[in-house]
Each structure stands twice: as structure tokens, then as C-alpha cells.
Amino acid sequence: MYPMLPWRSDSAKVRRGAGRERPVPGREQTDTMAVFKSSVAVHDAANRSIGAGMAYVHLRLAADADQRATGTVSLRRWEPADDVPASLQLEDGRRLSIEVSREVLSDCSRNHILRFQAQWPPAEAPGSPSAAAPTT
């Protein structure tokens, strides 16, 4: 399958109220989230490669479920043209269309960081067995 990293949020043990978060005494809620990690090439709307790095996609549902996902890309290479990033080419060949919500320069790594939203799962790579049309 694809590389998935289990993740448990300790911040899940909170109660929201009056704009502050406090631990809930005696009650523990365990929310889990899968994180899909992949090397990626970043492409613009004209399908030009404008960057490369490591992507982390946060999945609240199963990896094979249709869902709205969020994620980040830490870019080792960033050469944006006039257009905004439009998709990620995953190392397994699939393509994930993205909507970038934020771009920042990391103070510690000096990498550009893209924060994005996407519709999961990504499109299958052309020519892959699961992307092929059924034969009759």
C-alpha cells in the first residue's frame, strides 16, 4: 500500500469554551489521524515543475475514503513561475490537485512551506492498473 504514519493527538484531550482550551479531567478522548508522506514535485496549472520536496497529507478517514484533506509541503527546490501551485506529483505516480492556503519561509530550515487543501484520494497515474478502463 502507501506509506501511512499513525498519529495520536494529545491535544484531543481538551474541552473548548470561552476561546480557551483546557484538559478535561478524568476523560480521555483518542482521536487518530493518518498522515500520508511522499516525496513530491510541485506543478503549476500549465503542468510546469516549479518545486520539489516532502509532502505530509493529513487524513481523518481511511486512506481509501473520499475526503477533504489538509497538508503541508516542505520544499527543497522552489522556482515559482507566474502561476500558483496547482498539483503535487506523488512519488508513486499519482497526482493530487491542491489549493494552496498559505506559503511561508521556515525560519529554522529556510525551506518554503506550502499549506494546502485537497480532495483525497489522488488521481491514479496514467497507465497504472487501477487507472485502466475495465475491459469487456
Q: Is residue 127 part of a domain?
A: no
Average pLDDT over residues 90-113: 91
Looking at residues 107-134, what average pLDDT do you find?
A: 80
Q: Does residue 101 fall inside a structural domain?
A: yes
Q: Which pLDDT does position 25 carry in this prediction? A: 57
Domain count of the fold of the chain:
1
Residue-wise pLDDT tens digits, 17-38: 344 455 555 555 557 889 999 9
Residue 95: inside a domain: yes
CA pair distance 19, 29, nearest whole angstrom: 20
Q: Within a 10 A sphere around the Cβ of 69, how many other Cβ atoms?
A: 20
Residue 44 inside a domain? The answer is: yes
Which of 50-59, 113-122, 124-133 shows the lowest per-residue confidence on average (mean pLDDT)?
A: 124-133
Q: Does the global pTM surpass 0.85?
A: no
The verdict on residue 67 lying in a domain is yes
Q: What is the mean pLDDT of residues 114-118?
A: 97
Q: Provide the Cα torsion 14, 103, 44, 69; round to 10°.
A: 0
Cα separation, 43 vs 85, in Å, equals: 6
- Is 17 within a domain? no
The verdict on residue 131 lying in a domain is: no
* Segment 38-47, tens digit of pLDDT: 999 999 999 9
| Complete DSSP assignment for 31-84 | -EEEEEEEEEEEEETT--EEEEEEEEEEESS-TTS-EEEEEEEEEEEE---SSP
Q: Identify which has the larger pLDDT, 115 or 30.
A: 115
The set of cell numbers assigned to 122 is 489522488
Give the range of the structural domain holding residue 47, as residue numbers without chain letter. 4-10+31-120
Stretch 64-90: mean pLDDT: 94
Residue 130 lies in a domain: no
